[in-house]
A and B are shown apart, each in its own frame.
Chain A
Amino acid sequence: MSGTYLGMPAFPRAAALSSQDKTLRGNLRHATHTIRAKRAKAVDELADWDRLREAGAAVKNRTLRHLDHYLEQVEAAVTAAGGQVHWAADAAEANRIVTGLVQATGETEVVKVKSMATQEIGLNDALAEAGITACETDLAELIVQLGDDLPSHILVPAIHRNRSEIREIFRDRMADWGRPAPDGLTDTPAELAEAARLHLREKFLRAKVGISGANFVVAETGTLVVVESEGNGRMCLTLPETLISVVGIEKIVPAWQDLEIFLQLLPRSSTAERMNPYTSMWTGTSDDDGPRTFHLVLLDNGRTDTLADTVGRQALRCIRCSACLNVCPVYERAGGHAYGSPYPGPIGAILTPQIRGTDSELDASLPYASTLCGACYEVCPVAIDIPEVLVHLRERVAEGGEVTRRGTRVKVKPAKGHAAERAAMRASRWLLDRPGALRAGQRALSRSRRFHPKRMPGPGRAWTDSRDLPPAPAESFRDWWARTRGEGRNP
């Protein structure tokens, strides 16, 4: 796995390979089942979980409905508190802004807090092109970075790695990035964590620029909130002289009172904790402590366009907890890389095709990367009906339709590769809408049943490669009914 999502195959092809990887399957099964059970326990402790979930969804909906208002409130509050606000319409603009801000400090190394927004825009690569080294400091992101790998989970980006693989990566690669791994490093969690701590400590103490995202932005005061488990984020947010935060515009909550809901929903849903270990909050800059310079880069990158879609917009409620990944049976078998985006799993399957569009074969395949089993919707702390959005996006892929791109309504064509499927769906509808024709088809099926092959050719192989076909019955139900009850017998 190289460090780019570009040119990756469509989901079914990628998943056909990854689902055969026994180590990966084992790692994912162990990790997702463990956290799944813990989450269920943590959620069961709260008698008012359903109401918290409704409240979370309601606050997010209200904020999104008046996002223009809250964004201006954030800009005013952050500016008043000594910060500088930048607006980025897309990934390229955000990368340009951040690169320029780092270059202005004269630094060539930055430390990073775990951030989905910066993964989404590919910030590390953009900085590297400008000769700036971005050091990930979250343990799992560090493992991914040292391994020239890609994240495969929102909360646990190195979920696809086990301890012995992590030991190898630390032993082989740490020296390239700074302090090498201690001699004789074993794969015990305590030793691995200590190796990372020693390696990272040097970077924290040296860093002049920190880069973060944010879990929430409280509009009434312009306060940013980062929720984390390791304390590395606190280091990056407090030690450097300059702090740059790249934040998606949907991260806003109107008031501190609203934050209370999410600080209950998020830890229990993501790490299955009652309360996360480190919650850092900052408002602009302060003369006495912390960074002297603070930049907030507000990132759109397809969010406003997504907001224009009345069904798809609910994806913007997402608080990146990963609960949907941890219960998804498809994610568990395919792994995160098959989704070709920093947002894997069910939420990725509805977020990526909205943010990036459905033009590429990979992005057009994502809405189909689900059995629609609904486990994701059941655990989502902000009640995103992921199956509903998946089906909505399937329609966009299969039939095309109107979407908003850069604020303009445009018509998209059906994605390539759906012609045979479309013909089959039309033909089946034609048949099913004519019970007489359906009956004739059923009779043909029954009459020929002795000659049905065990293995089907062509597209039918996708079924018979792994499953037997059900034997066709001697007569259909409707023929049985007509024969035994008579055609017209209805009370």
Chain B
Amino acid sequence: MRVALFVTCVNDTLYPRTGQAVVTLLERLGVEVAFPAAQSCCGQPQFNTGYRRESEPLVRRYADVFRDYDHIVTPSGSCAAMVRDNHPRVGDRAAQEGRDGELAEAAAAAAARTYELTEFLVDVLKVTDVGAYYPHAVTYHPTCHGLRMLGLGDRPRRLLENVRGLELRELPGAEECCGFGGTFAVKNPAVSAAMGADKARSIGTTGAQAVCTVDNSCLMHIGGTLARLGSPVRPVHIAEILASTEGDVR
């Protein structure tokens, strides 16, 4: 089984610990992980803002870079959804517009082999207890693209429930968007901030020490809002919780 990590541009640049956690976790589970260095970004910022043509080279790059791997694992529900739902669309449109007739097929093939981390753990490796230890009260926010586009369902929760020491706190209004929305956060800052503040308040009512998601982009907005509001709740990616063991407790 040839497994490649698609770390995503956000994690690569701003949250390397999340990528390191995925590597630690997968290797602990006996999976050898490759990191093809020619990878970059799924093209979602361009695509979702209306610049589909700008996303096209990145869609092509993704399909090329990961062509020889059986499974492509990414610690981002949003980027996985972009690859799975929108890469084939970008390919189809390129063909319709007479540019790259083979992109659609290549994109669809790569999309079919792309897994969000919790999908890969539960569906491919068939594990829900990854042997993690994380002695904290944690609340889980299901991010929108993981929830609605990928249909992650209870996979992340099942993984968290099996983490020793972790106390899972219910998040009121969990399925409401946090207000990040990519470029929405800066194009509609007032509404984005209002949604973020409401999400931060809900998180605060849980009494959790940490809020966890499958997406660092949403978490950048949630964590940034929590910090600005002076909340002690820490944002943490699910990979970092699942990678933690007794030896990591500081």
The answer to whether A binds B is yes
Given A330-B188, A428-B46: A482 and B37 within 8 A (CB)?
yes
5 contacts between A and B (CB under 8 A): A370-B181, A373-B177, A426-B54, A429-B55, A467-B227
Q: Does A485 have its Cβ within 8 Å of any Cβ on chain B?
A: yes
* A interface footprint on B166-186 (CB within 8 Å = 1, 0 otherwise): 000000000111011111111
List chain A positions with a Cβ less than 8 A from chain B. Answer: 11-12, 15-16, 19-20, 25, 329-330, 333-334, 367-375, 377-378, 391, 393-399, 421-422, 425-426, 428-429, 432-433, 435, 438, 442, 445, 459, 462-463, 465-470, 472-473, 475-478, 480-482, 485, 487, 489-491
Residue of A20, A421, A429, A466 near B196 (CB, 8 A) is: A466
Least distance between A368 CB and chain B CB atoms (Å) = 5
Nearest A residue to B181, CB-CB = A371
- Kindly specify which of B11-19, B105-113, B119-127, B154-162 makes contact with the partner chain: B11-19
- For the complex, give the distance between the alpha carbons of A312 and B221 in Å: 31
Near A by CB (< 8 A), chain B positions 77-126 give: none
> Which of A371, A377, A391 is packed against the most chain B CB atoms within 10 Å?
A371
In the complex the two chains form, is A333's CB within 8 Å of B48's CB?
no
Given contacts A425-B46, A433-B61, A480-B20, contact A11 B188 (CB under 8 A): yes
- Chain B contact-residue range equals 35 or more
Assess whether B2 is in contact with A491, with CB atoms less than 8 Å apart. Answer: yes
Question: 8 Å CB contacts to A: which residues of B177-202?
Answer: 177, 179-197
Bound complex: CA of A433 vs CA of B58, how far in Å?
A: 6
Query: Nearest chain-A residue to B42 (Cβ)?
Result: A432
Contacts of B47 in A (CB 8 A): 391
Which one of B144-152, B205-213, B240-248 contacts A?
B144-152
For the complex formed, measure the closest distance between the CB of A24 and the CB atoms of chain B, giving whole angstroms.
Answer: 12
Interface status of B132 (Cβ within 8 A of chain A): no
Measured CB to CB, the closest approach of chain B to A331, in angstroms, equals: 9
- The digit string for B17-42, where 1 denotes a CB below 8 A from any CB of A, is 10110010000000010111111110
B128 to chain A, nearest CB (A): 26
Docked Cα-Cα span, A297 to B188, in Å, equals 39
* Residues of the B chain whose Cβ atoms lie less than 8 Å from the Cβ of A372: 48, 144-145, 181-182, 184
The residue in A367, A425, A467, A475 that gathers the most chain B C-beta atoms within 10 A of its C-beta is A467
| Most chain B CB atoms below 10 A, which of A377, A469, A477 | A477
Instruction: Report whether B12 and A371 are in contact in the complex, using a CB–CB cutoff of 8 Å.
Output: no
Is A477 a contact partner of B19 (Cβ separation < 8 A)?
Answer: yes
Which residue of chain B lies nearest to A438 when distances are taken between CB atoms in the complex? B40
B40: which of A369, A399, A433 is its contact (CB, 8 Å)?
A433
Q: How far is the CB of B198 from chain A (nearest CB, A)?
A: 8
Docked pose: A469 CA to B189 CA in angstroms? 15
A195 vs B196: C-alpha distance when bound (angstroms): 41
Chain B nearest CB, measured from A414 CB (Å):
9
A33 to B247, CA, bound (A): 45
How distant is the Cα of A19 from the Cα of B189 in the complex, in angstroms?
A: 11
Contacts of A334 on B, CB cut-off 8 Å?
191
Tell me if B54 and A472 are in contact (CB < 8 A). Answer: no
- Chain A residues within 8 Å of B49, by CB: 394, 398, 421, 425
CB atoms of A467 and B195 under 8 A apart: no
Interface of A is mostly: helix
Contact indicator A476/B194 (Cβ below 8 Å): no
Chain B residues lying within 8 Å of A378, measured Cβ to Cβ, are 148
Contact check, A425 vs B54: say whether CB atoms are below 8 A apart: yes
Looking across the interface, which residue of chain A has its beta carbon closest to that of B1?
A491
B234 at the interface (CB under 8 A from A): no
In the bound assembly, the distance between CA atoms of A395 and B51 in angstroms comes to 6
Q: Which 9 A-B pairs have the closest CB atoms?
A: A371-B181, A467-B224, A394-B50, A398-B50, A466-B193, A373-B177, A16-B190, A374-B148, A477-B16
Closest to B149 in A: A374
- Residue pair B13, A399 in contact (C-beta under 8 Å): no
Docked-complex contact A470 and B61, CB < 8 angstroms: no
A12 adjacent to B57 (CB under 8 Å): no
B-chain residues with CB within 8 Å of residue A466 when the two chains form the complex: 189, 192-193, 196-197, 224-225, 228
Question: Complex: how many Å from CA A463 to CA B9?
Answer: 19
* Least CB distance, B43 to chain A, in whole angstroms: 8
Complex alpha-carbon distance, A462 and B182, angstroms? 13
Cβ of A398: which chain B residues have Cβ within 8 Å of it?
Answer: 49-51
Contact of B189 among A330, A371, A462, A478 (CB under 8 A): A462
Q: Are B187 and A476 in contact (CB under 8 A)?
A: no
Give B51 Cβ to nearest chain A Cβ, in Å. 4
A398 CA to B52 CA, complexed, in Å? 10
Q: In the docked arrangement, what's the CA distance between A131 and B189, Å?
A: 44
Q: Chain A residues near B136 (CB, 8 Å)?
A: none
Residues of A within 8 A of B197 (CB): 466
Cβ distance A329 to chain B, nearest Cβ, rounded Å = 5
Tell me which residues across on chain A come within 8 A of B135, comparing CB atoms: none
**Minimal beta-carbon separation of B112 from chain A (angstroms):** 20
- Give which listed residue, A368, A476, A491, contacts B16 with CB less than 8 A: A476
With A398-B50, A438-B40, A482-B37: A373-B190 Cβ-Cβ less than 8 Å: no
In the bound complex, CA of A19 to CA of B193 (Å)? 10
Nearest opposing residue in chain A for B19, CB measure? A477
Chain A hits for B137, CB < 8 A: none
Task: Looking at the assembled complex, report how far the CB atom of B15 sits from the nearest CB atom of chain A, in whole angstroms.
Answer: 7
Q: Hey, which chain B residues are within 8 Å of A480, CB to CB?
A: 16, 19-20
In the assembled complex, the CB of B56 is this many whole angstroms from the nearest CB of chain A, namely 9
Tell me whether A470 and B224 are in contact in the complex, defined as CB-CB below 8 angstroms, given that A330-B191, A463-B186, A477-B19 are known contacts.
yes
Whether B185 and A463, one on each chain, are in contact in the complex, defined by CB atoms closer than 8 angstroms, is yes
Q: Is the CB of A490 within 8 A of B36?
A: yes
CA distance A487 to B19 in the complex (A): 16
